[in-house]
């Protein structure tokens, strides 16, 4: 347990926050800081063919130790952390034998992680939790996954009696800004299939995700002196308000669950003369996803007609698609992960991701890639935490997947 804690803390205290507004790859130079350390760590534990390419992708191989032919499998995690909340100066707190009560993250600012609000905490009573100090995110998304893959490879190297085929691992940049798989070299990686270790709570196993698009709404107004504005001023912010109100008001993240899709307004910046709205559009069903995009455009068209001028311009760009289409034909890879969980005492929770992972894009690039839990909760904010016991179980699952894959071929 302490070995996992030490490795995880080492990684999360390195700021690797990505930047959605920078087209460079990777989007932040500081991601290289962790990448170089991971290269050294991979070499130190005995991984082979360790590479760090010009785009900050890390790949390495653990050669198989069986004589018969075995599929080559892979495990993938991302090194960047979310731009949604600061990742500078991460100061993790360790809470052994959690008592099920409120955890004071920051006494000065009265920031409390409470099971009254975050009920999942009660599942981990008696376990060791790692939390933030209330001023930053933690980075378990996805440095827990990085830690678990690294630890599992180290364990397999130290226990050659566990039989496995060739195993490929990769650590990617910029997953949090939707670019993590864009320049991923599937051919170089060389796996028949892979698993992202990027899920949340213990037992999650996912091979479905949202179809996703990003949308930008630009509204043009006209500024004149407000004292002489009658019949002349066009306030783009008021038009923006009409646009927002015209979308289905209950189809938003906080009022949807399961397979229900949504429109999410995540940023807005406005003055009288111009307002920009940034949305993401999500749905698991491709037909409904297509309808959502059409509805979004229709709202703009209807308002433009009402205004008598094309003041509202919409751009919609698809981001990724539901991996189910690519994984369903090879469902044995999900079955192996499910069996591995059961064998190490983890109850599988097979569900659809209300989001996306590198695996969704990689599946469409020819690398089927379901997603497995990394153990963290409350990602992208000050209340993020991870139970160390869940991280240990993720390591066990990775090892067991390798073992089952070799034994069933």
pLDDT at 409 over 70: no
Query: Residue 21: which residues within 8 A CB-CB, separation 6 or more?
Result: none
* pLDDT on residue 23: 92
pLDDT at 139 over 90: yes
* pLDDT on residue 319: 87
State the chain's mean pLDDT as an integer: 96
Task: Give the tens place of pLDDT for each residue, 253-264.
Answer: 999 999 999 999
Domain ranges for the chain: 2-209+322-407, 211-320
Q: List the catalytic residues.
A: 80, 175
Mean pLDDT score, 228-238: 96
Mean pLDDT score, 334-351: 97
Q: What number of residues does the chain have?
A: 409
* pLDDT on residue 356: 79
Task: Give the tens place of pLDDT for each residue, 140-157.
Answer: 999 999 999 999 999 999
Mean pLDDT score, 100-104: 96
Mean pLDDT score, 182-187: 96
Confidence of residue 36 (pLDDT cuts 50, 70, 90): very high
* pLDDT on residue 408: 78
* pLDDT on residue 358: 87
In this prediction the pTM is 0.89
Mean pLDDT score, 17-36: 95
Mean pLDDT score, 238-242: 97
Mean pLDDT score, 35-41: 98
| Residue from 110, 103, 102, 100 nearest 130 by CA | 103
Mean pLDDT score, 73-92: 96
Instruction: Please identify, in words, the CATH class of the domain defined by 2-209+322-407.
Output: alpha beta
Mean pLDDT score, 38-52: 98
* pLDDT on residue 178: 83
* CATH among 2.60.40.10, 1.10.340.30, 3.30.70.360, 1.10.150.170 for 211-320: 3.30.70.360
């Amino acid at each position: 347990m302490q070995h996992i804690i030490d490795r995880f803390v080492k990684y999360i205290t390195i700021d690797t926050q990505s930047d959605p507004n920078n087209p460079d790859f990777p989007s932040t130079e500081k991601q290289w800081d962790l990448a170089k350390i991971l290269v050294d760590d991979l070499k130190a534990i005995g991984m082979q063919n360790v590479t760090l390419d010009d785009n900050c992708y890390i790949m390495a191989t653990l050669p198989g130790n069986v004589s018969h032919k075995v599929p080559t499998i892979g495990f993938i995690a991302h090194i960047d952390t979310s731009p949604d909340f600061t990742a500078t100066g991460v100061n993790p707190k360790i809470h052994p034998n959690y008592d099920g009560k409120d955890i004071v993250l920051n006494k000065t600012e009265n920031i409390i992680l409470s099971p009254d609000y975050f009920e999942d905490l009660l599942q981990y009573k008696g376990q060791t939790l790692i939390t933030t100090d209330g001023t930053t995110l933690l980075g378990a998304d996805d440095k827990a996954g990085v830690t678990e893959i690294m630890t599992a490879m180290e364990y397999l190297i130290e226990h050659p009696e566990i039989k496995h085929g060739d195993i490929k691992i990769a650590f990617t940049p910029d997953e949090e800004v939707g670019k993590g798989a864009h320049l991923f070299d599937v051919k170089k990686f060389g796996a028949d299939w892979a698993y992202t270790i990027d899920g949340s709570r213990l037992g999650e196993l996912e091979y479905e995700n949202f179809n996703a698009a990003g949308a930008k709404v630009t509204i043009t107004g006209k500024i004149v002196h407000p004292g002489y504005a009658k019949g002349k001023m066009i306030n783009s912010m008021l038009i923006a308000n009409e646009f927002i109100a015209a979308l289905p008001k209950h189809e938003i993240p906080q009022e949807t669950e399961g397979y229900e899709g949504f429109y999410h307004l995540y940023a807005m910046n406005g003055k009288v003369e111009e307002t920009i709205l940034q949305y993401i559009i999500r749905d698991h069903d491709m037909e409904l996803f297509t309808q959502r995009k059409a509805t979004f455009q229709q709202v703009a068209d209807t308002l433009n007609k009402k205004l008598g001028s094309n003041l509202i311009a919409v751009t919609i760009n698809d981001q990724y698609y539901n991996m189910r289409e690519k994984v369903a034909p090879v469902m044995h890879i999900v079955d192996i992960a499910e069996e591995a969980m059961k064998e190490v005492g983890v109850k599988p929770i097979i569900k659809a991701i209300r989001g996306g992972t590198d695996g969704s894009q990689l599946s469409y690039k020819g690398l089927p890639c379901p997603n497995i839990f990394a153990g963290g909760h409350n990602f992208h904010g000050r209340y993020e935490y991870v139970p160390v016991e869940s991280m240990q179980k993720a390591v066990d699952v990775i090892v067991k997947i390798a073992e089952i894959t070799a034994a069933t071929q």
